[in-house]
């Protein structure tokens, strides 16, 4: 059967659940890039706290606890003055990984004041049905 819907070609492979994030770094679910040719991480902010900042970067590793910052895979800092209710996105391909690294995660760090954030990581699925590779927190898919 041809996979014609985008929802059949993309899997939700990483998340940071929507919440008021304290002034610390929060890592997304770790993604094994041996299973996906490409992943895009999308972070959303709500109304930021007074003078708050939000940073997002990608980290990789050879183990399922990646901690190595990936050069060129970070966003320009979001700030309260101009970035309430904004989105930022970072994409990564297998070929972007350092030699020996297969795992990746996004790290979102809030500074100065707690702020609402969330993140979703989407991956193109090569062969398996996307739904079977999505996070177990995905509760419904609607398409016609």
Positions of the chain with pLDDT lower than 50, given as ranges: none
Classify burial at 79, counting beta carbons within 10 Å of its beta carbon; exposed 0-12, middle 13-18, buried 19 or more.
middle
Q: How many domains does the chain have?
A: 1
Residue 126 falls in which region: left (phi positive, over 0), alpha (psi -120 to 50) or beta:
alpha
Summarised one tens digit per residue, pLDDT across range 107-119 is 999 999 999 999 9
- Residue 75 token pair: 């966003």
- Residue 37 token pair: 């040719």
Domain contains 75: yes
Res 127: pLDDT: 66
Summarised one tens digit per residue, pLDDT across range 79-88 is 999 999 999 9
| Interacting residues of 19 by C-beta distance below 8 A, sequence separation 6+ | 116, 117, 118
Q: Computed over its alpha carbons, how large is the radius of gyration of the chain?
A: 16
Give the CATH number of the domain where residue 33 resides: 2.60.120.1110
Supply the range of the domain harboring residue 69.
16-121
């Amino acid at each position: 059967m041809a996979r014609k819907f985008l929802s059949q070609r993309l899997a939700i492979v990483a998340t940071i659940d929507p919440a008021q994030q304290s002034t610390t770094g929060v890592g997304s679910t770790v993604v094994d890039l041996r299973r996906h040719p490409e992943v895009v991480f999308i972070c959303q902010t709500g109304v930021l706290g007074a003078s708050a900042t939000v940073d997002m970067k990608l980290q990789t590793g050879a183990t399922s606890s990646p901690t190595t910052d990936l050069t060129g895979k970070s966003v320009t800092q979001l700030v309260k003055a101009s970035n309430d209710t904004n989105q930022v996105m970072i994409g990564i391909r297998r070929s972007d990984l350092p030699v020996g690294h297969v795992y990746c995660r996004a790290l979102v760090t809030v500074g100065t004041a707690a702020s609402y954030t969330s993140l979703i990581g989407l991956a193109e699925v090569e062969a398996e049905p996307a739904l079977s590779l999505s996070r177990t927190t995905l509760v419904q898919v609607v398409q016609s």
